[in-house]
């Protein structure tokens, strides 16, 4: 008996797409695919913060002196407001004005960040000064170098790129129907399940 | 030396950077399979399978690159030092 496989219609759900950008996985939760959304969100966020754990704060830097960091931020930003907030935090709280060049930059070893309220500063913005080793001063964080920097970048950029696919999948539910239909067809041939055996999942995919 | 602060300072793992790749492969598989599978039945096995495939592919690519650079390239482009 021939088996008919119904292809899922391609929908358009801007609310799900927006939610997927705001919080990884939230778009799929909105579409009724809670378990799928939780797995996606956990995977993307663990990957992003895992990259920061390996490479430190320096891997998320949209105004870095390193070209690869600046380019990588475009990929990292696809993780959503979390990545953008981390970068904003980095720029505003962990960098200072170099009074010799009048440019904001990250600190090198042997330097200290004097906050706007520091009595040694006297200005309304954070500035970079020479650290006093006797007082245990130093930069607010150590900039990663070499392989840990590369691995940290890799984790955070892949997190963003995967979330971009997630956003598109939430924006166009059922848009990857060809691949899924193929998988369903293979299972039908193997006698594992029949097409449309999971109506709840299918309804969610269609973007109800 | 200032104290290590997670998420601010990098970990001291330059010598074992390769150990960070299998967890990355697992995380990629976690997200991709959650997105791609028609149903989440057998999800765990699918994730392990894909992660294994990624790690195996990286090993094979590494071995292939090593063989090419060490043995094939010197035959094609001999360099006299």
User: Tell me: the pLDDT tens digits for A78-131?
Assistant: 999 999 999 999 998 889 888 888 888 888 888 888 887 888 887 878 888 888
Q: Do A169 and A19 touch, CB atoms closer than 8 A?
A: no
Task: State the alpha helices, DSSP H only, in chain A.
Answer: 14-22, 26-30, 34-55, 67-76, 81-93, 146-171, 177-189, 199-205
Task: Quote the minimal CA–CA distance from B35 to chain A in Å.
Answer: 7
Show residues of chain B in contact with A147, CB under 8 Å.
13-14, 17
Beta-strand pair A103-105/A96-98? antiparallel
Please state, in angstroms and rounded to a whole number, the distance separating the CA atoms of residues A146 and A133: 26
Burial class (CB in 10 A: 0-12, 13-18, 19+), A172: middle
| Tokens 């482009």 belong to residue | B77
Please state, in angstroms and rounded to a whole number, the distance separating the CA atoms of residues B70 and B8: 39
A53 to chain B, any CB pair closer than 8 A? The answer is: yes
Interface of A with B in 71-100 (CB under 8 A): 94
Q: Do A89 and A62 touch, CB atoms closer than 8 A?
A: no
- Among A207, A188, A191, residue whose Cα is nearest residue A3: A188
Nearest CB to A148 within list B11, B31, B37: B11
Residues 6 or more apart whose Cβ sits within 8 Å of residue A36: A25, A28, B34, B35, B40
Show residues of chain B in contact with A154, CB under 8 Å.
24
User: Which tokens sit at A112?
Assistant: 């200290």
Per-residue pLDDT at B2: 59
SS3 assignment, position A56: coil
Residue A142's pLDDT band, with cuts at 50, 70 and 90, is confident
Per-residue pLDDT at A24: 97
Interface of B with A in 32-71 (CB under 8 A): 32, 34-40, 43
Please state, in angstroms and rounded to a whole number, the distance separating the CA atoms of residues A135 and A66: 31
Residues 6 or more apart whose Cβ sits within 8 Å of residue A117: none
Residue A67's pLDDT band, with cuts at 50, 70 and 90, is very high
Q: Which residue(s) pair with A97 in the sheet?
A: A104, A127
Question: Mean pLDDT across the stretch B33-49?
Answer: 93
- Among A37, A66, A72, residue whose Cα is nearest residue A51: A72
Nearest CA in chain B to A142: B9
A8: pLDDT strictly greater than 80: no
């Amino acid at each position: 008996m021939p088996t008919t496989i119904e292809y899922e219609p391609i929908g358009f759900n801007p609310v799900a797409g927006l939610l997927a950008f705001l919080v990884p996985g939230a778009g799929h939760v909105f579409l009724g695919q809670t378990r799928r959304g939780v797995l996606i969100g956990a995977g993307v966020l663990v990957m992003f913060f895992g990259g920061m754990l390996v490479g430190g704060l320096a891997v998320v830097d949209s105004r870095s002196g390193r070209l690869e960091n600046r380019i990588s931020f475009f990929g990292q930003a696809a993780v959503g407001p979390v990545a953008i907030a981390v970068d904003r935090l980095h720029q505003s709280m962990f960098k200072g004005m170099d009074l010799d060049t009048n440019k904001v930059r990250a600190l090198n070893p042997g330097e200290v960040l004097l906050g706007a309220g520091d009595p040694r500063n006297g200005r309304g913005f954070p500035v970079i000064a020479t650290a006093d080793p006797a007082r245990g001063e130093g930069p607010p964080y150590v900039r990663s170098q070499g392989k840990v920097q590369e691995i940290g970048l890799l984790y955070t950029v892949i997190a963003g790129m995967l979330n971009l696919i997630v956003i598109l999948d939430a924006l166009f539910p059922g848009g990857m129907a060809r691949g899924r239909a193929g998988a369903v067809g293979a299972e039908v041939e193997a006698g594992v399940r029949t097409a449309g055996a999971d109506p709840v999942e299918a309804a969610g995919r269609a973007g109800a | 030396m200032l104290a290590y602060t997670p998420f601010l300072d990098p970990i001291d793992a330059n010598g074992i950077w390769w150990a960070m790749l299998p967890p990355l492969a697992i995380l990629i598989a976690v997200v991709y399979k959650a997105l791609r599978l028609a149903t989440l039945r057998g999800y765990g096995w699918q994730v392990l399978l894909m992660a294994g495939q990624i790690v195996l592919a990286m090993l094979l690519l590494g071995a292939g690159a090593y063989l090419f650079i060490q043995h094939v390239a010197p035959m094609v482009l001999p360099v006299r030092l």
